[in-house]
Amino acid sequence: MEPQLKDSVTDGIATVVIANPAKRNAMSAAMWRALPGVLDRLAADRAVRALVLTGEGDTFCAGADISTLREPGDEQQSLAVRAEEALAAFPKPTLAAVRGFCVGGGSQLAAACDLRFAEEGARFGITPSKLGIVYPSSSTRRLTALVGPSTAKYLLFSGELMDTERALRTGFVDEVHPAGELDKRVAEFARVLVSRSLLTQAAAKEFADGRADRDAHWAEQARGSGDTAEGVAAFLERRAPRFTYGV
pLDDT at residue 125, as a whole number: 97
Q: Which of 30, 134, 148, 17 is nearest to 83 (CA)?
A: 30
Query: Residue 190 and residue 151: Cα distance in Å, rounded?
Result: 28
**Radius of gyration, alpha carbons of the chain:** 18
Of 6, 45, 29, the C-alpha closest to 247 is 45
CA-to-CA distance for 155 and 29, rounded, in angstroms? 24
Mean pLDDT by 10 residues, the chain (247 residues): 91 97 93 96 97 97 77 69 96 98 96 98 95 92 97 97 97 97 98 95 92 84 85 89 84
* Residue-level pLDDT at 65: 83
List, in order of start, the domains of the chain with CATH numbers: 4-192 (3.90.226.10), 197-237 (no CATH)
